[in-house]
Structure 1
């Protein structure tokens, strides 16, 4: 399958480009970026072609992989889906619920495969854990603390304007929801509050009656950075295990799932529709924190 890569930042270098180049069933055909020089450099490194026009690259491939900020990703993903191209998207799919839903609908209307790269969901340790706790059932609550400290000179993601603007809610919030939703089910109601820096607290009531609490930040004091997730219920308390940080390997697994789906196999759990669900919850949380109100999901769209 011929892939075009959109994006030339750290995530494209760490995950997308090496995974596309290494996959035996993928031809890494082209690169488009907002910086033409960086696109040319990344393309040359992998023997691909640099493109200056979005639609030209879409027209010449079977699938697109996107490593761009969500506001740049969303219109490209929509154009690619409507052109019949399979989608490997980054999280969040978009920061506007209607835009994410439009992408998911285009995927269905044009019968293309899609996967959203919630990185840890493609680690075998996490995938196996979630399969086990879903099979056990009876979970009534969850707690996820995902606090990073990325605005340091040694962190390549700290230079990202969209992360500084949107904060932990939109950057690590998708990862937290990608753990909670498969176990506790769809969210019915959201209450959120903002703290110092970009600290955001979410209290979610799920349609199943379960509740979850998320604490999110990408600008926490370094000594306060932590990543913990716990489920509790009739079977006791279960902590999500740590996973090895190998983003290119995880993206290779996402590619496997996309290729199987494109060939008529089962669709990935983390598809565009799931990505749209995550965006809807985050948009509701943003509204709740801003206006100091409790938000039902059907009221946030």
Structure 2
């Protein structure tokens, strides 16, 4: 399958491009970016072609991987789906419900496959743990913490990201937490509370369809020594913790590409498809509205 890459930033450079060029069942056809010089540099490093016209790239491929800010991603995902391209998308799918719904509608209308890359869902240890806990009944409560030190001045390539500075941890790392909690505890009936903490820290209380509740703490402004991710479940089965994953993003992206190929070939939606990405967007938008209302 011929696949193109939309985006030339740090995430495209360190994760997407290596995965696309290293996947044996894909032909990495080309790169398009909002900065033509960056697109040419990235394409040259991976022996592929830089495109000045995004529609020309969409016409030359059967699939695209998107590594762009969510508002830009949503617009181009609709365009790519209408061009008949399968979609490997990043989280969050979009930062408004309307944008996310437009992507889902375009995917369904075109009959293309979609996968949203939630990192934990494509790491063997964490995915096996999620499947195992989802098969158990009787979960009472859960606690999730996704704490980053992105804005500590440590030189992260993502620290200058305008959309992360605007939308904060809720939208950047919130999707990771929800991607773990929802398949285990069920969909959320509602966001009961959303309370701000120091910096961009957010504390959420969620009610789940299965009767359990969860608390979620998200931050990109944690002290470096306090950074890290943890999920704890408590219920009739006892207490269990999400295992740590040792590998980097490229192997997980390779599995996400495998999932996209399988969905495109078999016609069955992946659990992390655009519709799931939309549901995550809806929950985050609900939490954001509560924060803006001071509740």
Deviation at 1:100, TM superposition (A): 0.6
Q: Please provide the CA RMSD for this pair.
A: 1.1
Aligned pairs for 1:74-223 (under 5 A) are 74-151=74-151, 152-190=153-191, 191-223=193-225
Deviation at 1:252, TM superposition (A): 0.2
Contact kept in structure 2, 1:30 and 1:43, CA below 8 Å: yes
Matched position secondary structure for 2:150: coil
Hey, what's the Cα distance between the residues in 2 that align with 1:47 and 1:251?
20
- TM norm structure 2: 0.97
Q: Report Cα offsets for 1:138-159 as digits up to 9, x if no partner.
A: 2121110111101234311112
Q: Report Cα offsets for 1:31-86 as digits up to 9, x if no partner.
A: 01111111000011111111112222111110010001101111000111122110
Q: Which blocks of at least 5 consecutive residues in structure 1 are unaligned?
A: 294-301
Contact kept in structure 2, 1:141 and 1:233, CA below 8 Å: yes
Contact kept in structure 2, 1:197 and 1:219, CA below 8 Å: yes
Hey, what's the Cα distance between the residues in 2 that align with 1:92 and 1:277?
10
Deviation at 1:265, TM superposition (A): 5.3
Deviation at 1:206, TM superposition (A): 1.3
Q: Which blocks of at least 5 consecutive residues in structure 2 are unaligned?
A: none
Determine which of 229, 233, 247 is the counterpart of 2:231: 229
Deviation at 1:245, TM superposition (A): 3.5
Structure 1 match to 2:24: 24
Asked if 1:248 corresponds to 2:254, the answer is no
Hey, what's the Cα distance between the residues in 1 that align with 2:150 and 2:280?
22
Contact kept in structure 1, 2:100 and 2:281, CA below 8 Å: yes
Q: Report Cα offsets for 1:165-186 as digits up to 9, x if no partner.
A: 1110000000000000001111
Hey, what's the Cα distance between the residues in 1 that align with 2:41 and 2:25?
24
Deviation at 1:267, TM superposition (A): 2.6
Contact kept in structure 2, 1:149 and 1:225, CA below 8 Å: yes
Hey, what's the Cα distance between the residues in 2 that align with 1:244 and 1:273?
29
Matched position secondary structure for 1:157: coil
Aligned residues: 293
Q: Report Cα offsets for 1:209-257 as digits up to 9, x if no partner.
A: 2111100011112232231111111111110000024101000000001
